[in-house]
């Protein structure tokens, strides 16, 4: 139940952010670099989880 509220809050936040900064390239370099690096880490964790589930 709380997950739904968190999902709604995140969506509203991201919608507001997209209105403030409509173009990804307008973000500060540091933010873009962190986003890229953290996205790679997230993809690795997701991939690792898929591999682990496949071993069971």
Express each pLDDT in 5-18 by its tens digit: 999 999 999 999 89
Give the residue extent of every domain in the chain.
23-56
Over residues 27-54, the mean pLDDT reads: 88
Question: To the nearest whole percent, how much of the chain has pLDDT over 70?
Answer: 95
Contacts of 21 (CB under 8 A, 6+ apart): 27
Q: What residue has token string 């964790």?
A: 45
Over residues 22-46, the mean pLDDT reads: 92
CA 55 from centre of chain: 27
Q: What is the dihedral of CA 7, 10, 13, 18, to 10 degrees?
A: -100
């Amino acid at each position: 139940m709380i997950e739904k509220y968190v999902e709604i809050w995140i969506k509203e936040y991201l919608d507001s952010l997209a209105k403030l900064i409509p173009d990804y390239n307008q973000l500060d370099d540091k933010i873009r670099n962190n986003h890229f690096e953290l996205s790679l880490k997230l993809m690795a964790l997701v991939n690792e989880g898929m591999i682990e589930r496949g071993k069971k």
